[in-house]
Amino acid sequence: MTKLKILITGSQGFLARNLALSLKEKKFKVYGIGRGRWKGNQYKKWGYKKNLNTNINLKSLTKYQIKFDYIIHCAGKVIGLEPEDDFQRNVLTTQSVLEYISQNKKKPKLILMSTLAVYGNSKEQTLTEKSKINPISNYAINKLLAEQLCKFYNLKYKIDVMILRTGSLFGPGLKRQFIFDACTKIKKNLNIFFGTGEEIRDWLFIDDMTNLIFKIIKKNFKDIKIINVGSGKGIKIKDIITYICEKMHKNIKPKFNGYGKNSNPKILISSTKEAKKFLWSPKKKFFEGLELYINWFKKEHD
């Protein structure tokens, strides 16, 4: 275990850098690749032995003359891009990674970060891996295309793939997505939010996510497998906003503009049954994690 070499794509992203630090602490040799502005040896504080600041394609990947044991594909997890950019980051980068793996005699195993959003507006309250696929956003469609590429390369080149369909990740240091945006607006006494407020999401604290990936590597896997990942519990968007208002001592009444309600699933809650087979279960309760996040946000913006 201590000699495993792991490449993480999208290396400067929230999940990637927390994952790199976690795996480094567990004595893995961790390498990174992805777009960003890290200078000098800044990557080392996040646990990377080496990092390449570059676009992810076959040419850039081959710059690493290292026989990796695992590639964890975190790149591309971006919502709100133009359709062409979304396709580039979520689909074409995945194809490049798979093509790179296929050209190796000793093929690294691939862990692909996907999303529960591929299920769309499911009628099921809790999503299992057998739930019907019905993506309703460009982001979810492109994640599904990335999954299908993995299935094709698995069949053609016998690449071992683990697809993780995750809920909403959060934790201190996250400077984008809903919770960050909500904290930013509430601090400024703004009260207009996207959606309806009734949307329900499954939130997973970052440490629980990195721990699951470690458990997956520790137990190992073969062929291709899909696992839904989350806490197994859903929280309404409007309840999160109310909690943030209370903790930030802001007396505002949230209003929702309905924007995105046709492209955002109403309920996304993951079953934890398959993930628990790796001797894992989430430890951090949502509102405990949210309080940690709010405290971090306050320190960052004092």
Q: Report the side by side order of strands in the sheet with 161-166.
A: 50-53, 29-34, 5-9, 70-73, 109-115, 161-166, 224-229
Nearest CA-CA partner of 24 in 39, 52, 43, 41: 43
The predicted pLDDT at position 79 comes to 59
Integer Rg of the chain from CA: 19
The one-letter code for the residue type at 242 is T
Binning the chain into helix, strand and coil, the percentages to the nearest 5 are 40, 20, 40
Domains defined for the chain, CATH in brackets:
5-170+203-231 (3.40.50.720)
For the chain (302 residues), the mean pLDDT of every run of 10, in chain order, is 87 97 96 90 95 95 95 79 78 96 96 96 93 92 96 98 97 95 95 92 98 97 98 96 96 88 85 96 97 97 83
The predicted pLDDT at position 40 comes to 86
The predicted pLDDT at position 108 comes to 98
Residue 216 contacts residue 104 (beta carbons within 8 Å): no
The predicted pLDDT at position 80 comes to 56
The predicted pLDDT at position 81 comes to 56
The predicted pLDDT at position 2 comes to 56
Structure tokens given for 214: 């470690």
C-alpha distances (whole Å) from 172 to each of 38, 159, 234, 284 are 19, 34, 20, 13
| d(C-alpha 67, C-alpha 104), whole Å | 8
The predicted pLDDT at position 1 comes to 52
The predicted pLDDT at position 77 comes to 58
Q: Which residues pair with 201 in a beta bridge?
A: 235, 268
| d(C-alpha 113, C-alpha 10), whole Å | 11
